[in-house]
Every structure is written in C-alpha cells, then in structure tokens.
Amino acid sequence: MLNQSQAPVERMFQALGDPTRRALYERLSRGPASVSELADPLPMSLPAVFQHLQILEASGLIRSEKRGRVRTCRVEAGGLREMEKWIAGRRAMWERALDRLGEYLAAQDDAQPPRRRG
C-alpha cells in the first residue's frame, strides 16, 4: 500500500470513503449525538458503529467526549478546513499548469509568424 507518512488529510479522505462513515458525518453535521443515537437508524451492530466513530475521530473529522456513561460526538470544524485547504492547493497547481500552457502556446505564436497574415 506504499504506506508513506499517512498525512491527516489522507485519513480524512479514507474515512469519508465509506458510506456508513459518510452517513455518520452527515448526521453529526446537523448536530451532536450519542453513540447509540447514531447507531439506532443504521442496519448494523453498535460495536460496528463504534468502530466507525473511532476511525472518524482518529482522522480528526469528529471529536467526542464522555460524561457519565454517554459519549457525545460532534463535528470537528478543523477537519473540514484541512480538506478544503488540500483541495484549494490542488486547484491552484492545476490552474497554474493551465497558465503555463497558455504562456507556452503564446510563445509558440510569437516565435512562428502567423500563417494567415504572413
């Protein structure tokens, strides 16, 4: 798997690549919830949901806190920001690449005299 350094944003992408975890995250973006509240509508066992929550939390997308015997989960704002930053970075590189292509083509035009008007 070429396990090189596992950047946090990568664990976020991986976390959201699973439909269950995406559903959990969408639910939590509507407001905090306990583990069993989250598990209730899902067609799987509570330990399974708990494992998914652990993965989401390890990725930095959510955060949770235990009071008494109930653990309340909520979205971690920083997570979204990390992903947005990564995407913005790729977009910037890609747009710069397009610019370079434009400059290159312009330079080609300068070097070779235009056919129509020559």
Smallest distance from the beta carbon of 46 to its own copies, in angstroms? 15
> Does 45 help bind DNA (rule: CB under 7 A)?
yes
Q: Is the dihedral of CA 71, 27, 60, 4 positive or negative?
A: positive
DSSP string, 14-68: HHHTSHHHHHHHHHHHT--EEHHHHHTTSSS-HHHHHHHHHHHHHHTSEEEEEET
Total interface residues for DNA by CB under 7 A:
26
Binding segment (CB under 7 A) for DNA, from list 16-24, 80-88, 97-105, 107-115:
16-24
Q: Least distance from C-beta 38 to DNA, angstroms?
A: 8
Among 40, 65, 70, 91, binds its own copies (CB under 8 A): 91
